[in-house]
Amino acid sequence: AQRVTQPEKLLSVFKGAPVELKCNYSYSGSPELFWYVQYSRQRLQLLLRHISRESIKGFTADLNKGETSFHLKKPFAQEEDSAMYYCALRGIQAGTALIFGKGTTLSVSS
Amino acid sequence: GAVVSQHPSRVICKSGTSVKIECRSLDFQATTMFWYRQFPKQSLMLMATSNEGSKATYEQGVEKDKFLINHASLTLSTLTVTSAHPEDSSFYICSARTSGGAPYNEQFFGPGTRLTVL
């Protein structure tokens, strides 16, 4: 069965501290992995996808197939990073939908 | 970037009535659209996958006769909640997937529709 697990409901850090949002997945095959972000009162938007291997807003995520993990990291958190973060996966077949984890609320305070 | 709109953004209805929610891809064609349901402070649960010109594929546990999905054009999908009951109150979010051009194969999300059934 396909599943995305985000073990932390809430992560509170101080500004300037490192951040790691955990994501583990279960999927038979090689899925695509994504991180989506939802700022307060805004729609869900793509933050990054594993195949792009890019850094967006200082965030990076590395796919570890051995540990089936796709943790999101940022070395120095900013207050504007406070949001809900969802890890998601999708099969590589055309037309398949994103399956989301339960999300982690990141709260960055000064 | 690609934009997905939903209408209405908020609807309140009486129990037993039907409600239609529209989802439009404004600047791209979407052969595939998805409908999700989100409970307060919880994740998005996939309800169904909608392909233009064909029947929607529903996820296990989602009643297809209660949640009618129509995807009659490449830019419009509708979700009709029939005979709504208070337990159907939720936040419904649609998503459209790009199929051609850049960005390729990316899902864009609508702002959601808050349904409250009294």
Which chain B residues contact residue A23 at CB under 8 A? none
Q: What is the mean pLDDT of residues B90-117?
A: 88
User: Is the model's pLDDT at B102 over the cut of 70?
Assistant: no
User: Confidence class of residue B12 from pLDDT cuts 50, 70 and 90?
Assistant: very high
User: Is the model's pLDDT at B41 over the cut of 80?
Assistant: no
pLDDT for A79-107, tens place per residue?
999 999 999 999 877 678 999 999 999 99
3-class DSSP assignment, residue B93: strand
Which chain A residues contact residue B95 at CB under 8 A? 97-98
B58 touches chain A (CB under 8 A): no
Q: How many CB atoms lie within 10 A of CB A106?
A: 21
pLDDT for A16-48, tens place per residue?
999 999 999 999 888 999 999 999 989 999 999
Which chain B residues contact residue A40 at CB under 8 A? none
DSSP string, chain A: --EEE---SEEEEETTS-EEE--EEE-SS--EEEEEEE-TTS--EEEEETTT---BTTBEE--BTTTTB--EEESS--GGG-EEEEEEEE-SSTTPPPEE---EEEEEE-
Q: What is the mean pLDDT of residues B85-105?
A: 86
Cβ–Cβ gap B43/A101 under 8 Å: yes
Can you tell me which residue has the tokens 């051009």?
B101
Rounded CA-CA distance B65/B77 in Å is 16
- Test mutation, A90, A98, A99, chain B, max B CBs within 10 A: A98
Give the pLDDT score at B101: 62
Residue that wins the pLDDT comparison between B50 and B101: B50
Rounded CA-CA distance A75/B68 in Å is 46
Give the pLDDT score at A92: 79
**Mean of all residue pLDDT scores within chain B:** 91
Sign of CA dihedral A101, B50, B96, B37: negative
DSSP 8-class letter at B59: P
Give the pLDDT score at B79: 97
